[in-house]
């Protein structure tokens, strides 16, 4: 597969102001994992990370259930074997042997989901949520 680790689109006016402390003139980014098509085109039931440039770590979400629900679940990429544009579920893509050296910068392990699957007797595997928290906080 071919896909960038990060892609996005930025605008100079933030029309998605969810907190009174945000400045609409500061701008915003829509950030995604994979090709930037999901940052540019809205897709039902899949969400880019919205970043207010004046407060990049501020999110309009209440808790981990919201973070899980309103995060990116599918990745647009190029299948180099088939020579096609395709979309794969994030968990399926991350379950393959990929050379992602610093996935921890853009994703967090979803321990709740892993525990839930284990309780249901399903095969133990790691689940990820794309949050970009470490990347945005400057932690490297």
- pLDDT > 90 in the chain, percent: 52
Q: Is residue 128 a contact partner of residue 108, using CB atoms and an 8 Å limit?
A: yes
Q: What is the pTM of this model?
A: 0.85
Listing DSSP states for 102-126 in one string gives TGGGTEEE-HHHHHHHHHTTPPP--
What tens digit of pLDDT does each residue of 51-64 get?
Answer: 999 999 988 877 88
Distance from the first to the final alpha carbon of the chain: 26
Residue 110 clears pLDDT 90, i.e. is over it: no
Residue 72 clears pLDDT 70, i.e. is over it: yes
- Is residue 140 very low, low, confident or very high in pLDDT (cuts 50, 70, 90)? very low
- Rounded Cα distance between 62 and 86, Å, is 32
């Amino acid at each position: 597969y071919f896909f960038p680790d990060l892609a996005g689109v930025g605008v100079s006016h933030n029309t998605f102001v969810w907190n009174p402390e945000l400045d609409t003139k500061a701008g915003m980014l829509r950030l995604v994992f994979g090709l930037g098509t999901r940052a540019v085109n809205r897709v039902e039931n899949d969400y880019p990370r919205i970043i207010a440039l004046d407060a990049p770590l501020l999110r309009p979400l209440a808790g981990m259930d919201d973070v899980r629900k309103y995060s990116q679940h599918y990745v647009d990429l190029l299948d180099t074997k088939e020579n096609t544009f395709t979309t794969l579920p994030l968990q399926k893509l991350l379950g393959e042997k990929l050379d992602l050296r610093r996935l921890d910068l853009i994703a967090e392990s979803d321990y709740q989901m892993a525990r839930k699957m284990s309780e249901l007797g399903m095969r133990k595997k790691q689940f990820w949520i794309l949050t970009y928290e470490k990347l945005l906080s400057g932690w490297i």
